[in-house]
Each structure stands twice: as C-alpha cells, then as structure tokens.
Structure 1
Amino acid sequence: MPLKAVLFDMDGVIVDTEPLHRKAYFKLFADLNIEVSEELYTSFTGASTKKVCTTLVEKCGLKLPHEELASVKRRYFKHYFDNDADFDLLQGVKDLIENYNQNGLKLILASSAHMNTINWVFEKFGLEKYFSGKISGASLKESKPHPEIFQLAAKMAGEPTPNCLVIEDSTNGILAAHAAGIFCVAYKSEHSVNQDYSKANLVISDFSEIEAEKIKSLFGE
C-alpha cells in the first residue's frame, strides 16, 4: 500500500514545550508558596493542566479552585511561549515537513495538546499551510494510548490506515499508533527520556532518515 498521509504528534516531535510548562508550573508553585518535589512533578508528565491543578488542590490542601490555578498557569505558559528565546522547532523537522509537502503527502497533526497551544505553535512557526487538518486529544473522550486520535486523523486525511504513517516520541503515542494498526516511526531524541520504543516499526534519531524518498520504499514504492 503506498504512503499517502503522515500523522504527526507535536510535543517532542515538532516542538518541545516541556521546559515552558516547567517554568510556568514552578512560577505558580512560588506564587502559592508550596514545595513540589521533583518526584511529584515528574508524576505530572503527560497529564492535562486540569488534572495537575486538581491534584495540587488535593495534595497541598489549597483553598483555591483548580480552574483558577489552571488559568494562572496557562497565562504564565503563554508568556514563556511568546518570550523564551530558546523555544524553537526541533532540529530538522521543518525540512521534513517541507519535504513531505513537496512529495504530495497529506499531513495531519494529532496531538494531546490543547487546541490553543497547537494553534499558537502553528502561528508562531508558520506551519498552517503544510497541514490539511489538526486534532487535539484534549477534546476527545479517550487519550493515548487509546488509538482514537490516530483513527480520526486517518479519517481526516481520507486514507485507510495502511496508507498512513505516524511519527511519535512517547510510549503512549507509539502504543496508540500500534493499536490503530498504523506504521509508526519513533523519534528518539534528548527530549524523550525513558520511553519504550518496542512497538514502533522504525526508530530514528534524525529526521533526514525518513525523508519521503526513503520512507516510501518501506511502503513498497
């Protein structure tokens, strides 16, 4: 089956927003005058802001509603998003996106991030013109490792799953692609620590390894 569509995860594949989330959360913790251990903070990885703030209210006995905490954290995150000089696209990903676009592949973004964050990233780095669709896992009933997001992304591309490719960096994302029956490339970088790549079809550490000409050959072209 020829390759027709590529389904991109965002965080850890296109950008790495984790340092920005970290700065925003620790600014919030300082405001609240609470100590959050590295162990507790690490346990928040991959959780929604709502979930994290609900946990903080419970564990730290806070009197504020979790919605208020989430609102403050999101405001700090947006500040760092707009002003952090180190925040940029991951190395080589823009070239890969352009390469796929020139080779007629349909691109869909399938990320667990909130749609606001997805739109900010697309606007900041001029990605809108390359993608024919965007899905935020925050608006779905199920989250990765459930395959729903990638099943919907394939449908959005108008292609059967054997004609699709997923690019992921996390254990949960790889499991979601595997469960959806879609060929999965795992991007292993310094940003993705302690992830399990065993269910991926291919593991790479440089995006040049999966340029259209190379990856299409794996689909029998």
Structure 2
Amino acid sequence: MIRGALFDMDGTLVDNTDVHFKAFEIFCNRYGVKDWQEKFAAVIGMGNGDILRALLGNEAVDKWGVEALADEKEAIYREIYAPTIAPVEGLRELLERLRREGVRCAVGSSGCRTNVDFVLERCRIGEFFEARVSGDRVSRCKPDPEIYLTAAAELGLEPSDCLVFEDAPAGIEAADRAGVRRTVALTTSLSAEALRTSSAAYVVRNFAEVTDEMLR
C-alpha cells in the first residue's frame, strides 16, 4: 500500500474551477481584458504568475506586479466562494481511512498559502494534512515537479511511495516528473475523455470512487 497521499487543491480537494473562472471574469473586467476565456483552459493548474501573464499580458503584469494582481484576484475568489465551499464528495471519508491505515497526507498546490489555509479550514479537513506546500513556497510551480518533490520530502517519504490526486494536465505532468507511484485524476475540471489521454493511472468523478486497487 502507498505510504503517502499528495493532494492538489483547486479542482481536487474542492470543485472550484467555476468559482476561479468567475473570479477571473470579475478581475479581468476590472482591467478591461475581454478575450481571457479562450486562454484560461491552457493554464489551469499553473501558478498565478503564469496565469496572469497568459490572461493579461506581460505589459500589464509588469506594470502592476504579479503579487498585487494575484492578491486582488484571490481576494475576489475567497469572497464569492466562502458561502458555498464544500469538499469533493467522499474526501473526508477517504482522509479518515488513510489516517486509520497510517498513510500520511500533504497538500501540493500551485495556489497561494492563504487559499490553501482557506480551503482546509472552511472544509474542516486541516487536521488530516501533515504538510502544506503552496505555490508561494517554491521557485517553480506545476508542471515543474518541485511542489510534489517538496511535499513528499516534508512527509519524510520518497515520491515513489506516494499517490497523487490531481485534476489538471499540468499537475499530472508535475507528478510524473516527481516520480510518484501513480496519479488518480478527478473529472472536476476536465472530461474523463480528456484525462484518459494523460498519464493518470485512474480517472474518477470523486473520492467515493477511489478503490483499494488505487491505494496499493
């Protein structure tokens, strides 16, 4: 059985892709950006620096600064998501099972630490995670493997001892490059058909569909 489980956050712990999309819509409208929707799908799962440059362009990002723009957008996201936030179906039950079986858990997210804490606290699942690795703690975000390498190290485990739960190609690539045992992909952000073209070992709708075989 696996010794560690590394969880992406956005689209994995919570089904929040639509909320981020709405937050980007509000944010981009403030800056007069009209064509951002077509670019968004290609950067799902990446860090805010990459996303903001793809959506707003280098000139706007250089003018206002990545940190200030990211803080503004994430504040919008937390404000509109707070009333309805909930974990993906079956997550708490899976976390309880992993704890009973001695599997150590960590979050590995390209999102900022404020958002990681927001999700874990609002969903009341923070107690299950021994490590929280966010995008602002690493020098390179997904698809670079640094986030998952760091998460495994903070659990005191080799990546090959760990399973990753992901929802986006950038995260699946990061897990592959980190050398994890396998990746389970959730269909919260993309279709099952799209995810089956990735290297994910399994594709599920939610955590209630995670089987014993996937955890070996």
CA offset digits 1:29-53 (Å, max 9, x no partner) = 3334442353234445334334444
Deviation of 1:58 after TM superposition, in Å, equals 4.1
Unpaired stretches in structure 1, ≥5 consecutive residues? none
Q: Which residue of 2 aligns with 1:162?
A: 160
Q: Which residue of 2 aligns with 1:151?
A: 149
- Aligned pair 1:75/2:75, yes or no? yes
Q: Is the 8 A contact 2:45 2:169 kept in 1?
A: no
- With the length of structure 2 as denominator, give the TM-score of the two structures: 0.82
Q: Which residue of 2 aligns with 1:123?
A: 121
Greater displacement, 123-132 / 140-149: 140-149
Per the alignment, do residues 197 and 109 of structure 1 end up closer, same or farther by CA in structure 2, a change over 3 Å counting?
Answer: farther
- Aligned pair 1:191/2:197, yes or no? no
Per the alignment, do residues 9 and 40 of structure 1 end up closer, same or farther by CA in structure 2, a change over 3 Å counting?
Answer: closer
Tell me, in whole angstroms, the C-alpha distance in 2 between the residues paired with 1:177 and 1:53: 23
Deviation of 1:174 after TM superposition, in Å, equals 1.7
Per the alignment, do residues 173 and 196 of structure 1 end up closer, same or farther by CA in structure 2, a change over 3 Å counting?
Answer: farther
Q: Which residue of 1 aligns with 2:47?
A: 48
Deviation of 1:136 after TM superposition, in Å, equals 0.9
Q: Which residue of 1 aligns with 2:8?
A: 9
Deviation of 1:20 after TM superposition, in Å, equals 1.9
Per the alignment, do residues 198 and 133 of structure 1 end up closer, same or farther by CA in structure 2, a change over 3 Å counting?
Answer: same
Greater displacement, 160-169 / 32-41: 32-41
- With the length of structure 1 as denominator, give the TM-score of the two structures: 0.80
**Aligned AA (2:137):** S
Helix, strand or coil at the partner of 2:25: helix
Q: Is the 8 A contact 2:109 2:135 kept in 1?
A: yes
Deviation of 1:64 after TM superposition, in Å, equals 5.9
Greater displacement, 157-166 / 121-130: 157-166
Deviation of 1:114 after TM superposition, in Å, equals 0.8
Helix, strand or coil at the partner of 1:166: strand
Per the alignment, do residues 56 and 214 of structure 1 end up closer, same or farther by CA in structure 2, a change over 3 Å counting?
Answer: closer
Per the alignment, do residues 199 and 60 of structure 1 end up closer, same or farther by CA in structure 2, a change over 3 Å counting?
Answer: same
Helix, strand or coil at the partner of 1:129: helix
Q: Is the 8 A contact 1:53 1:66 kept in 2?
A: no
Q: Is the 8 A contact 1:171 1:197 kept in 2?
A: no
Greater displacement, 12-21 / 69-78: 69-78
Deviation of 1:130 after TM superposition, in Å, equals 0.8
Query: What RMSD, in angstroms, separates the aligned Cα atoms of the two structures?
Result: 2.8
Deviation of 1:60 after TM superposition, in Å, equals 8.4
Tell me, in whole angstroms, the C-alpha distance in 1 between the residues paired with 2:171 and 2:42: 17
Tell me, in whole angstroms, the C-alpha distance in 2 between the residues paired with 1:122 and 1:38: 28
- Aligned pair 1:22/2:21, yes or no? yes
Per the alignment, do residues 110 and 89 of structure 1 end up closer, same or farther by CA in structure 2, a change over 3 Å counting?
Answer: same
Deviation of 1:214 after TM superposition, in Å, equals 4.3
Q: Give aligned pairs, total.
A: 213
After TM superposition, the structure 1 = structure 2 runs for residues 74-153 of structure 1, keeping only pairs within 5 Å, are 74-83=74-83, 85=84, 87-153=85-151
Q: Is the 8 A contact 1:113 1:138 kept in 2?
A: yes
Tell me, in whole angstroms, the C-alpha distance in 2 between the residues paired with 1:207 and 1:56: 32
Q: Is the 8 A contact 1:29 1:36 kept in 2?
A: no
Deviation of 1:96 after TM superposition, in Å, equals 1.0
Greater displacement, 168-177 / 52-61: 52-61
Per the alignment, do residues 57 and 22 of structure 1 end up closer, same or farther by CA in structure 2, a change over 3 Å counting?
Answer: closer
- Aligned pair 1:65/2:55, yes or no? no
Helix, strand or coil at the partner of 1:14: coil
